[in-house]
Chain A
Amino acid sequence: MKNEKEVWVERMMEYAAKPSSSTRSKEKVFHTILDILERPEGTNNIISFSQFRLVGIAALIILALNIGVIGFTIVSNNDKAESKSAYGLHEYNLDLY
């Protein structure tokens, strides 16, 4: 005899196999299709998965480059600051002597 959980799971499996669907806006969908077909090819706003992935990869590359440039700028500014203070120290020593 099945327990409550098994009965519930089997009921959900039946729903999965026979989802209740309705084509409420069949005509509206058809008109949308005709509108899409009337636009010149290549200008519709349905993008494919591969186009979306390409844009995502390009965005990540640009972000990585920006982080790289910012990091390089910070490091090179630090180097310049250190060399400035070293120069100052030499001058100080010269003054002493």
Chain B
Amino acid sequence: MSDTQTTLLNTPNTAPEVRNPAELPADAGEPVFEVSDLDFFYGSFRALRDVNLGIGRRRVTALIGPSGCGKSTFLRCLNRMNDLIPGTRVDGRIAYHGQDLYGQGVDPIEVRRQIGMVFQKPNPFPKSIYDNVAFGPKVNGLKPKSMDDLVEESLRRAALWDEVKDKLKQSAFSLSGGQQQRLCIARAIAVRPDVILMDEPCSALDPIATIRIEELMVELKQDYTIVIVTHNMQQAARVSDVTAFFTAEVDDAGHRTGVLVEADATSALFTSPKDQRTDDYITGRFG
């Protein structure tokens, strides 16, 4: 079994000179991120190996794969959220609009301002609905002509305005889980980011709330580049333009290292995967 895995793994990545860092999956559009030879370490433990992926502008890119395959870790590399975890290290290059995201002089604060994030569990601040949305613009020193208008616009874009317009001063915790998650999306939009990263944004939500968020994603991609991590393959198929499949390789010591198996236009990946492991995963034989 390990034999087939190594050979399968080597198919896309055998010859380093053939590797094209800027290579984008079909139908990816103009690149926002170009990730080349990315390794990620928690201390001495390598969590990601040799990831090469382009992420296109104003597309929804879905990262799928079994638990522990490093897809969330990869997502958090894109806005330097992993910087918060002591002892982590990035090797390789992530270019964001051509600039090295981990280069010298890059301010992670500015990175996160442009690359927003929505988390797995809705995590509104223990503040009012209004203050949750206004938080980002305030800390970033944004001086909109009218904060009220910015809050309204952000909530409208997150398809939440009609439900909360009469109770903006109420606690964010008075909302349902799905509403809280849309509030978190509104909060991310309010700082006018370029990219929105979503880490399993629907996994804590019921099916109806999930559908609403999915519809929202499709709408938001008119203006934003969206990268979403999901466990739900149907969700990836429904919302994404491009899908990247990650899996974990287990070495003899039992360490799991995440690798990118393949990335392609979603329709192509789900109908005719090039890699056997992708095929096994999407047909439910594995993971």
The answer to whether A and B come from one shared complex is no
